[in-house]
Amino acid sequence: MSGEGPFTHQARNQRKSVRTRARLMDAAVEVFARDGFEAASVNEIARRADVVNGTFYVHFKDKDAIAAEVAFKVAYDIARQIDGAMTHIDNAAERFSCATRQFIEIACGQPQWGWVLIRSAGYAPEVHRQVESYLRTDLALGVRQGLFDLEIDAFTMDTILSMILAALAARLRGDTGPEAASKVSEMVLRVLGVPAVAAKAFAWSPIELQGFKIQTTL
Amino acid sequence: MSGEGPFTHQARNQRKSVRTRARLMDAAVEVFARDGFEAASVNEIARRADVVNGTFYVHFKDKDAIAAEVAFKVAYDIARQIDGAMTHIDNAAERFSCATRQFIEIACGQPQWGWVLIRSAGYAPEVHRQVESYLRTDLALGVRQGLFDLEIDAFTMDTILSMILAALAARLRGDTGPEAASKVSEMVLRVLGVPAVAAKAFAWSPIELQGFKIQTTL
DNA sequence: CCAATAATTGACAAAGGTCCCAAAAAACGC
DNA sequence: GCGTTTTTTGGGACCTTTGTCAATTATTGG
């Protein structure tokens, strides 16, 4: 086994079944991140969780089942962290910029989670829904505040999300430094109709967070 | 076998080896488009090309080899079609909008090629390079013409490409109608710094093509 | 038309995948 | 500590995949 992952940590005081399940999920994250969903094998996941192959099937029906659960939990957890740290920001452009930058930062701090998000975006609708949920609210707010002049429909959301994920991928690949998060924020704000100068200001201003620091594990 | 694909058609008068190779490539397009690169199997490709498994290995070293070749040929061919039909347009914003809209239209006319482009974008650098080659020229031109005010670096290119591919994917999934191409053009032009009104005008103006119509097969 | 060359075949080994299950071991409540 | 319940084990049945190769069949130039 390779260290203790976030799910395992969260399950530390629960009954054995729960702990094993959590170990399988941490292992699945590693394998999905490295090999992609299609190429990942149940055997490899079990091996990394230090259980024999048969144990896997006690806990999950098949590969699809664990993938859906892992993707959902990862997306949910990240979204929750971001939301919690932003309750004090009112301006929609600032909220968007802050959320996007934090999202990329958090996902980079846990690279395997980042890759799982990217690689599962195509297959797992629940990931899309999770990430979009925090986006949609702020975008709609911006329209109401008169900051954004673009119609926020499903296609717009989809395009914006793909920009953010592209930035995350570039960052995880190491193609770019931490500035990618601000760059992509600025680009999206321009798409939304924020004037260039204001977009730059929002995207590059320092982030103020509620509380000390962002929590990067469950 | 399921009909005659573009590669097979192009190879119709060549020697047998070339024709079989082309059939394998058409089959590979179908399988990669349907299953994605990771899940695609050499067996399935051979079956669809109406040859036995062993024949595949006469023509290609392995799955990677055929994937690289297919992705490159598809990207190259589409880029060539677009370039050829745009020699008479001078304005960079118009060129970009026209190229993007045609790109999506062509890729949708041959859905399997479209999916191959999307699914291989992550794995095959040659696809990125091909598609970016026609983009980069026009974006740089726009900066020189004073139309765009955004620095065109690798990250910018990457983000813009991901927007275009997201629109293509939405279109191929049937999530959106033909207007997606104009919508995404408009969004990218805004990113590039084109004023909202002008961006809308460029993105939705009718396309004038050199010659009669776009060719949609090799 | 025939010999030489080119191309395809089909069977197979080796590797690895999925999923199941009877038996063993561990954990739990009393 | 002890019997019951929960959980894990290990191996096996069966399938798919990859990649190779000697044998066979098709094509083609002379």
Written as six digits, the tokens of B109 are 């006319």
Chain B residue numbers touching A183 (CB-CB < 8 A)? 155-156, 159
Over range A67-75, report the average pLDDT. Answer: 92
B217 located within any domain: no
Question: CA B179 to CA A19: how far, in whole Å?
Answer: 50
Burial class (CB in 10 A: 0-12, 13-18, 19+), B206: exposed
Q: Has residue B213 got a pLDDT over 80?
A: no
Over range A180-197, report the average pLDDT. Answer: 98
List of residues 6+ apart from B84 with CB closer than 8 A: B210
Interface of B with A in 129-158 (CB under 8 A): 149-150, 154-156, 158
Q: What percent of chain B stands above pLDDT 70?
A: 94
Among the listed residues B90, B118, B94, the one whose alpha carbon sits nearest the alpha carbon of residue B104: B118
The helix (run of H) or strand (run of E) holding residue A90 is none
Nearest-Cα distance to chain B for A9, in Å, is 31
Q: Has residue B179 got a pLDDT over 70?
A: yes
- Write the pLDDT tens digit of every residue in A90-113: 999 999 999 999 999 999 999 999
Residue with tokens 């982030």: A207
Instruction: Please tell me whether residues B125 and B148 are part of one structural domain.
Output: yes
- Write the pLDDT tens digit of every residue in B78-126: 988 888 888 889 999 999 999 999 999 999 999 999 999 998 888 888 8
- Predicted pLDDT of residue A2: 59
A183 touches chain B (CB under 8 A): yes
- Write the pLDDT tens digit of every residue in B13-28: 899 999 999 999 999 9
- Write the pLDDT tens digit of every residue in B29-56: 999 999 988 899 999 999 999 999 999 9
Residue with tokens 């392995």: B62
Radius of gyration of chain B (CA): 18
Residue nearest to nucleotide D9 (CA to C1'): A52
Instruction: Please tell me whether residues B179 and B111 are part of one structural domain.
Output: yes
A190 touches chain B (CB under 8 A): yes
Contact A154 B175 (CB under 8 A): yes
Burial class (CB in 10 A: 0-12, 13-18, 19+), A47: middle
- pLDDT band of residue B2 (cuts 50, 70, 90) is low
CA dihedral (A209, A78, A187, B177) in degrees, to 10, reads -150
Nearest-Cα distance to chain B for A164, in Å, is 8
Count up the domains in chain A and report the number. 2
Collapse the DSSP code of B174 into the 3-class scheme (helix H, G, I; strand E, B; otherwise coil) and give the result. coil
Amino acid identity, position B4? E
Instruction: Please tell me whether residues A197 and A101 are part of one structural domain.
Output: yes
Range of the domain at A157: 68-204
Residues 98-157 of B with CB under 7 A from strand C: none
Contact B155 A183 (CB under 8 A): yes
> Which pairs from B121-129 meet CB under 8 Å and 24+ separation?
B121/B161, B121/B165, B123/B37, B123/B67, B123/B71, B124/B67, B124/B68, B124/B71, B124/B72, B126/B68, B126/B71, B126/B72, B126/B75, B127/B71, B127/B72, B127/B74, B127/B75, B128/B161
- pLDDT band of residue A210 (cuts 50, 70, 90) is low
B111 located within any domain: yes
- pLDDT band of residue B58 (cuts 50, 70, 90) is very high
Among the listed residues B128, B135, B150, B149, the one whose alpha carbon sits nearest the alpha carbon of residue B95: B135
The helix (run of H) or strand (run of E) holding residue A29 is helix A16-35
Question: What CATH number does the domain containing A46 carry?
Answer: 1.10.10.60
A211 located within any domain: no
Least confident segment among A114-128, A135-149, A178-192, B174-188? A114-128
Contact A159 B149 (CB under 8 A): no
Instruction: Please tell me whether residues A56 and A73 are part of one structural domain.
Output: no
Contact A156 B187 (CB under 8 A): yes
B217 touches chain A (CB under 8 A): no
B38 touches chain A (CB under 8 A): yes
